[in-house]
Structure 1
Amino acid sequence: MSPRKAAALRQGDVSLREHLIATADRMMSDRGAAGLTVRAIAREAGVADGVLYNHFDGKEELLALALRARVRRVEDGLGPLPEPGAGTLEANLRAHVERGLALHSALLPALAGLTAQPDVLARFGASHEPGDEWRDHLHAYLRAERDLGRIAADASVRAAASMIVGVCHEAVLSALLHAAEPAPVPVAEVVASVLHGIAPGDR
């Protein structure tokens, strides 16, 4: 490890494992995950190649944990979500949609290089704690609003949440497939469709 990075670890109360995860996160954000090697991560982190295997079972685990760390870091920067019963349904759902889009957009550089690495994505999916993801918070919010009577008692909050999550996924998938920036999503129209449907007379 270089003296500069060794000092940073000593003074910043950051473990070597955390340092490696943060390094991999930064590298994926800067250049994507395609072609990212153990040697490149180790050199950037200022450690010998073999050190990574003292803390992870391979590159796939490290990249999955780095992606999870990025999700947490992005979410921390987005601030709290609206509380059930506060404000209006339209404004609150708009906040949830905007949060989902911001989160997916922030993950796009890393995801662009992981589509050919299904093991990393599988490990990433398995690394979350139940109830901890934005999607889980969306489900919980909609259920709470239904319990408060602000959403119809017979409404399928699972279907509503799936539609919102699908909008966010579609924006990222389109960008990945077409190698372009995500197209703007009409958030207000998405919210109106979820709340009021598309059949005549329902609006």
Structure 2
Amino acid sequence: MSPRKAAVLRDGGPSLRDHLLGTAARLIAERGTAGLTVRLISREAGVADGVLYNHFADKEELLAHALRAHVQAVENGLHELPEPGTGTVAANLRTHLAYGLALHRGIVPAFAGLTGQPAVLARFAELSGPGPDWRDKLADYLRAERDLGRLAPDAEVAAAARMIVGVCHEAVVSVLLAGTARQEPVDEAAVVAAVLRGIGPAPA
């Protein structure tokens, strides 16, 4: 370990395991997961390559934990979601859509770099917390609005949630597949209007 990094880890600093995890999560945020090697993580952390295996069973375990930390950091940086019955349904769905777009733009590229490493994705799935993810929160929100009478009583809220999630996927995945950094803006108001035309209450 270099003297500079040793100083970082002394005097109440992070443990070496946390330091390695934080370094890997930072690299994921900065450059994604494609081509992320033990050697690169170790060099950035200022430790010998073999040190990683004193704290993680293998590279897959480290990447899974680092990916989870990256996802949590992205989620923590997003705005709060609206409560059912507040504001208007249209405005609330635009907030949900904006949240979903930011979430996907923050995490999907990292997952895309791991398509050839199913062991990492399997380890990540095992680390997922018990709480609902954004897709579940969106569907729950729509069900609550339906129960409150602010949507049609027969509204297909699960299908509506999938439509909104699909827009988020398409906006990010299409850019990754095209191999370009340019992202087309999403007309959030138009998407929400199209969804509500299908599940909004009938005119009085």
In the alignment, the residues of structure 2 paired with residue 148 and residue 13 of structure 1 have an alpha-carbon distance, to the nearest angstrom, of 50
Deviations 1:106-140 (Å, cap 9, x if unpaired)? 22542342233233233333422233422222122
Aligned residues: 200
User: 117-126 vs 149-158, which deviates more?
Assistant: 117-126
Contact 2:61/2:120 (<8 A) preserved: yes
Structure-1 residue corresponding to 2:197 = 196
Secondary structure of the 1:152 match is coil
Alpha carbon RMSD of aligned pairs, Å? 2.3
Contact 2:79/2:99 (<8 A) preserved: no
Structure-2 residue corresponding to 1:19 = 19
Q: Point out where structure 2 has 5 or more consecutive residues left out of the alignment.
A: none
Q: How does 1:66-105 map to 2 (within 5 A)?
A: 66-105=66-105
In the alignment, the residues of structure 1 paired with residue 5 and residue 157 of structure 2 have an alpha-carbon distance, to the nearest angstrom, of 48
Structure 1 residues 190 and 31, CA gap change in structure 2 (3 angstroms): same
TM value normalised by structure 2: 0.86
Deviations 1:1-46 (Å, cap 9, x if unpaired)? 3333333334565333322222112112222222211121112112
Secondary structure of the 2:77 match is helix
In the alignment, the residues of structure 2 paired with residue 54 and residue 153 of structure 1 have an alpha-carbon distance, to the nearest angstrom, of 57
In the alignment, the residues of structure 2 paired with residue 125 and residue 174 of structure 1 have an alpha-carbon distance, to the nearest angstrom, of 24
Contact 2:100/2:165 (<8 A) preserved: yes
In the alignment, the residues of structure 1 paired with residue 163 and residue 74 of structure 2 have an alpha-carbon distance, to the nearest angstrom, of 22
Q: Which runs of 4+ in 1 moved over 4 A?
A: none
Contact 1:31/1:109 (<8 A) preserved: no
What one-letter code is carried by the residue in structure 2 that aligns with 1:178? A
TM value normalised by structure 1: 0.86
Contact 1:25/1:67 (<8 A) preserved: yes
In the alignment, the residues of structure 2 paired with residue 82 and residue 148 of structure 1 have an alpha-carbon distance, to the nearest angstrom, of 15
Structure-1 residue corresponding to 2:127 = 127
State the identity as a percent: 66
Secondary structure of the 1:92 match is helix
